[in-house]
Amino acid sequence: MRKGKVWICLCLAFLFVLPLGIAYAQEKPIKIGLQAPITGQWAYEGEMAKNSVEVALQMIQEEGGILGGRKIEIVIADDASNPRDSALAAQRLVSQRVAAVIGTYGSSVNEPAADIYEANKMIDIGYGSTAVKLTMAKERKYFFRTCGRDDTQGQFFSEYSVEEMKARRIAIMHDNTTFALGVAEEAKKALKQYLDAGIAELVFYDAITPGEKDFTPILTKLRETNPDVWYFTGYFPEAGLLVRQGRDLGIKCPFVGGNAAINEDFIKIAGLDYAKGCLMTQEPMPTDLDTPKAKRFLELYRQKHNTIPTSPWPVYAADALFALAFAIDKAGSTETDAMLNVLRTGMEGCDGITGSIGFTDRGDRRGIIYKMYVVTEKGEMVVYNP
């Protein structure tokens, strides 16, 4: 019995102590939540998102801040890129009464969080959740995203490859992650018109397993289909290996990566000899944008972290912060409704790192355009101009 009592006391103490953790009173700074995968499989994305947002914050404060110089505080919530932790992270940010949230990476992880923000009338700007259904499957009043959608990119690839590159035999490869599959499916859909017209052929459509390192079997299969262009929609760690192993096997056709496939690390993994000449479908890149904002961002980022973001999404996280800061400043308060109003209708003049930011009725980024980039002999990425 005595032991039992001790346990009960412990349980009691435990349960009473729990809620105390959140009993901090909120002070003056405007709190903005960042939900990101700080641990787990996509931890490097989370880390870069955090770095980017911090750089963006510094830029905002350099320019005098918002609401007459009120400080902004970033509250980070880790979702470990799984849906359960995502729900908890969202609930945690809600209970910390942040003004709005940036987040998160990964569409299926974003789904439960978006529902929670929606229920609590809290604005959430996604930066790496590109699935079409996130905005199209159900009406979400409070969800926005600064990144593009899978379908825009997929369509761009299909049109470009058939019409500009005159490719007839097209190979598409993804890695069965939410994002890569989404882009691949959308590319396939957009390709249908050409298939029906008989001017192109989808000769290969299959998935690799992320985290694997040896892709020779599937590449051998790919080689046998003799494609004119080879599109990989997955991520750079695999893309680098694919290009190297594919070229070694004698696949000579142009390699086109999605916007997650090609970056500095891709070049490091593939080796410059293999990486040069690789193409990618990509929104305008900060390196390519000539705006002072983009330059300043890259400069600061490099200063702080000795590198620049290796994927496009951290940049969108920074843009999400710019959008929020703009909305708060213009609305003159952190009231959700006021901010919502600005985000919906009054975004003219809001510049982010990736150009001007505006949202459609459903919360998607307005006017995202894709371009074809190429890796040069020097390992730089420039707009492709054959």
By C-beta, is 247 or 293 nearer to another protein?
247
- Does the protein bind another protein through residue 187 (CB under 8 A)? no
Q: What's the number of CA atoms in the CB half-sphere (13 Å) around residue 16?
A: 6
Task: Find the binder of another protein among 58, 82, 225, 336 (CB under 8 A).
Answer: 82
Task: Find the binder of another protein among 58, 91, 291, 336 (CB under 8 A).
Answer: 91
Site for another protein in 331-350 (CB under 8 A): none
Q: How far is the CB of 137 from another protein (least distance, A)?
A: 6
Task: Find the binder of another protein among 19, 68, 292, 386 (CB under 8 A).
Answer: 19
- Does the protein bind another protein through residue 6 (CB under 8 A)? no
* φ, ψ (nearest 5 deg) of residue 74: -95, 125
Q: How far is the CB of 100 from another protein (least distance, A)?
A: 17
Task: Find the binder of another protein among 33, 112, 126, 246 (CB under 8 A).
Answer: 112
- Does the protein bind another protein through residue 299 (CB under 8 A)? no
Which residue type is seen at 125? I
Hey, which residues does 74 pair with through a beta bridge?
Answer: 32
- Does the protein bind another protein through residue 51 (CB under 8 A)? no
By C-beta, is 80 or 327 nearer to another protein?
80
Alpha-carbon gap, residue 130 to 134, rounded angstroms: 8
The region of 189-197, 244-252, 284-292, 366-374 touching another protein under the rule CB under 8 A is: 244-252
- Does the protein bind another protein through residue 25 (CB under 8 A)? no
x/- contact string, 359-378, with another protein (CB under 8 A)? --------------------
- Does the protein bind another protein through residue 197 (CB under 8 A)? no
Residue 237 zone, left/alpha/beta (φ > 0; ψ -120 to 50; rest): alpha
- Does the protein bind another protein through residue 11 (CB under 8 A)? yes
Alpha-carbon gap, residue 275 to 254, rounded angstroms: 11
- Does the protein bind another protein through residue 7 (CB under 8 A)? yes
- Does the protein bind another protein through residue 182 (CB under 8 A)? yes
The region of 36-44, 55-63, 277-285, 318-326 touching another protein under the rule CB under 8 A is: 36-44
CB within 8 A of 174, min separation 6: which ones? 180, 181, 183, 184, 207, 208, 232, 233, 234
| Residues 100 and 32 sit within 8 Å (Cβ to Cβ) | yes
Alpha-carbon gap, residue 128 to 147, rounded angstroms: 6
Site for another protein in 252-291 (CB under 8 A): 265, 268-269, 271-273
For strands 351-352 and 355-356, give the pairing: antiparallel
Alpha-carbon separation of residue 26 from 19, 20, 30, 118, 334 (angstroms): 15, 14, 9, 22, 14
- Does the protein bind another protein through residue 189 (CB under 8 A)? no
Site for another protein in 126-165 (CB under 8 A): 131, 133, 137-138
Alpha-carbon separation of residue 8 from 11, 12, 13, 18, 296 (angstroms): 5, 6, 9, 15, 58
The strands making up 255-257's β-sheet, listed across from edge to edge, are 201-207, 169-174, 229-232, 255-257, 279-282, 371-375, 381-383
